[in-house]
Amino acid sequence: MPKLDVTLGVDIGGTNTAFGFIDKNGVCIIESSIPTNSFEPAEKLFDRLSKEIKEFYSKIKEEYNFIGIGIGAPNANYYKGTIEYPPNLKWGYVNVVEILQQYFDVPTAITNDANAAAIGEYEFGAAKGMKDFIVITLGTGLGSGIVANGELLYGADGFAGEIGHTIFDVNGRICGCGRKGCLETYASASGIKRTVFELLSNSLENSSLRDISFNDLTSKMISDSALAGDKIALEAFDFTGKVLGIKLADTVAHFSPQAIILFGGLALSGNLILEPTKKYFEENLLNIFKNKVKLLPSKLTNGNTAVLGASALIWNEIDKAAKKAAFQS
Amino acid sequence: MPKLDVTLGVDIGGTNTAFGFIDKNGVCIIESSIPTNSFEPAEKLFDRLSKEIKEFYSKIKEEYNFIGIGIGAPNANYYKGTIEYPPNLKWGYVNVVEILQQYFDVPTAITNDANAAAIGEYEFGAAKGMKDFIVITLGTGLGSGIVANGELLYGADGFAGEIGHTIFDVNGRICGCGRKGCLETYASASGIKRTVFELLSNSLENSSLRDISFNDLTSKMISDSALAGDKIALEAFDFTGKVLGIKLADTVAHFSPQAIILFGGLALSGNLILEPTKKYFEENLLNIFKNKVKLLPSKLTNGNTAVLGASALIWNEIDKAAKKAAFQS
């Protein structure tokens, strides 16, 4: 039997760094994770990580060829192969691709979490066969990965796709970025919490959410309350969908994509978030775009989606290189 | 002497259709225009136009090779080679590329006015050497041509780049598109007229603009009044720049371009519009984009800029085809 090709997907998070060997179809052969130990220098993490990877690869190397590494990480720069001043790690500026290539002699690429999610949907998920689509990641913040003309959009400096920091209301909520009214202060797991607290303050409606502190409240709790018919929770989803729908209509006016895909924590609320977003999205689209742009839930729902996305990044790079080589020969 | 290559640029407008033979450096060799006669079927225009073109080409054909046609037109679809239901013409759906190729056996391409302006800036103007930039055309409406990764962005259906129809204020001014508060209802030649009338209604300030009817008022008059120190006119430019600056900051968050270039009628007001736009643009940019994205005036200021842009489209296509051929051989 000839060996099958696998790539390694690595997701570097503030707490854990997960990795897995993923085949061409997006099937995870083997996966694990180690603590990131964010207080340590980056070199120590990659030294520990490389040892683990080698140990795991030794278990499958009779059957599989290890042909590339894809990495998803906060503040990653695809062009430079770096992670730059990540908010949850004390690393400063680290050339991750250079470090990992000292351990593994295979093509290696890095990108941020939202771009990895976008390439993941393209290779294995809801965006298969699409050339123009956008993935919106609804986590603590709102990230976005944009594919235009079949290519991830990086812009002049690698920082394209900051849709979370488009402005919904110039006089709106304070954002972590220092400005006011950014989309992610409304449409994200933390945004919907803020909306719940605004609604609790404005109304006299009874709600199970009145017993929970801001710090204890999670988007899962809001979701559960909404499913139980809690009016405040339902209104919070409606308002979140309204803000997201209005701003995504602007995004469509820029890109005219085939689809927008909702990914990540808050997207797990399913129709609770998808339906109001769709409603206000269609209402606010320019005529020529109405009923044309699909709003879809992620199809990367099995296993570690961040590791899958990271692996998809390098599968995509390897494919592009192969096509280029075929073109030149 | 070997002959030099020229392309033909054609700009189809509601009143006149202009054309010119343009060389590789953007120099116009010879140009003219004919009435569009918008009540006639499209075929008649292209028949008249072709005769004119042949006559003009006969004057230069000893020195020049005619190698392609680029067309700029409202509601043009690059993918299909068509003009579809143009607002100022009674044509319905017309395959312009097919018709013109019956008269001329050269590569022919069509795109909308704003995309032609973008390619014009890329080939001959302010965007030379840039891979990521956006041209904003400030005419009666607000158009946009977006270049990302070195390619004009068309999106899934050819309709990308409708930045004029991103929403500034969901409860704002009625737009021709049927919605409210679109950017072009504020930032365009007609938008600044509306702003002047809003300011005249709200304030008691003296202004030379109080003697002019809405239908008579032009953006040139507002410009002249502002230069003469008229407070209402100056405030109108400030407010126009504010709305434009805020919305362009959103555009940057999507694309991370090297530059945004202001083109067309209202942009001729120079610093009157450029300075307030720059000020509010920088104020509203996400930190990582501040002081990085240039806001530039068009450099297509000589001759018929629309014809230049249309010619640039086909020069660009010919270049791309040549590169592809070189790559394959």
Give yes or no: residues A105 and A253 share one domain: no
Instruction: Answer whether B110's CB lies under 8 Å from B257's CB.
Output: no
Average pLDDT over residues B25-53: 93
Q: What is the pLDDT of residues B65-113, one digit of tens each?
A: 999 999 999 889 999 999 988 877 788 899 999 999 999 999 999 999 9
Asked whether the beta carbons of residue A155 and residue B327 sit closer than 8 angstroms, the reply is no
**pLDDT for the residue numbered A140:** 87
Residue B71 lies in a domain: yes
Taking contacts as CB-CB distances below 8 angstroms, the residues of chain B near A283 are none
Of B178, B286, B327, the CB nearest to A287: B178
Residue B124 lies in a domain: no
Taking contacts as CB-CB distances below 8 angstroms, the residues of chain A near B131 are 156
Residue B155 lies in a domain: yes
The CATH number given to whatever domain includes residue A194 is 3.30.420.40
Q: What percent of chain B has pLDDT over 70?
A: 99
Give yes or no: residues A246 and A289 share one domain: yes
Give yes or no: residues A152 and A266 share one domain: yes
Q: What is the pLDDT of residues B214-249, one digit of tens each?
A: 999 999 999 999 999 999 999 999 999 999 999 999
Asked whether the beta carbons of residue A284 and residue B160 sit closer than 8 angstroms, the reply is no
Residue A37 lies in a domain: yes
Range of the domain at B70: 4-118+303-328
Give yes or no: residues A166 and A314 share one domain: no
pLDDT by residue for chain A (329 residues), tens only, comes to: 789 999 999 999 888 999 999 999 999 999 999 999 888 899 999 999 999 999 999 999 999 999 999 999 988 999 999 998 887 778 889 999 999 999 999 999 999 999 999 999 999 999 999 999 999 999 889 999 999 999 999 999 889 999 999 999 999 999 999 999 999 999 999 999 999 999 999 999 999 999 999 999 999 999 999 999 999 999 999 999 999 999 999 999 999 999 999 998 898 899 999 999 999 999 999 999 999 999 999 998 777 888 999 999 999 999 888 888 876 66
Residues 115-134 of A with CB under 8 A from B: 131-132
Give yes or no: residues A112 and A146 share one domain: no
Of A148, A246, A292, the CB nearest to B148: A148
pTM of the model: 0.91
Give yes or no: residues A153 and A11 share one domain: no
**pLDDT for the residue numbered B329:** 63
Give yes or no: residues B274 and B321 share one domain: no
Asked whether the beta carbons of residue A156 and residue B131 sit closer than 8 angstroms, the reply is yes
Interface test with B, best of A79, A134, A162 (most B CBs within 10 A): A162
Asked whether the beta carbons of residue A149 and residue B148 sit closer than 8 angstroms, the reply is yes
- Please check the confidence at residue B304 and state whether its pLDDT lies above 90: no
Interface test with B, best of A84, A242, A250 (most B CBs within 10 A): A250
**pLDDT for the residue numbered A329:** 63
Residue B16 lies in a domain: yes
Taking contacts as CB-CB distances below 8 angstroms, the residues of chain B near A115 are none
Give yes or no: residues B112 and B149 share one domain: no
Residue B123 lies in a domain: no
Of B178, B256, B284, the CB nearest to A155: B256
**pLDDT for the residue numbered B238:** 98
Give yes or no: residues B43 and B137 share one domain: no
Give yes or no: residues B220 and B197 share one domain: yes
Give yes or no: residues B168 and B286 share one domain: yes
Give yes or no: residues B148 and B259 share one domain: yes
Residue B257 lies in a domain: yes
Taking contacts as CB-CB distances below 8 angstroms, the residues of chain B near A149 are 148-149, 151, 153-154
CA dihedral over A164, A170, A172, A173, signed as positive or negative:
positive
Nearest CA in chain B to A167: B250
User: What is the enclosing helix (H) or strand (E) of B248?
Assistant: helix B231-255
Total tally of structural domains belonging to chain B: 2
Residue A48 lies in a domain: yes
Instruction: Answer whether A219's CB lies under 8 Å from A265's CB.
Output: yes
Strands (E) located in B81-200: 82-84, 93-95, 108-111, 133-138, 142-148, 151-152
Closest approach of chain B CAs to the CA of A213, in angstroms? 31
**Chain A interface includes B284 (CB < 8 A):** yes
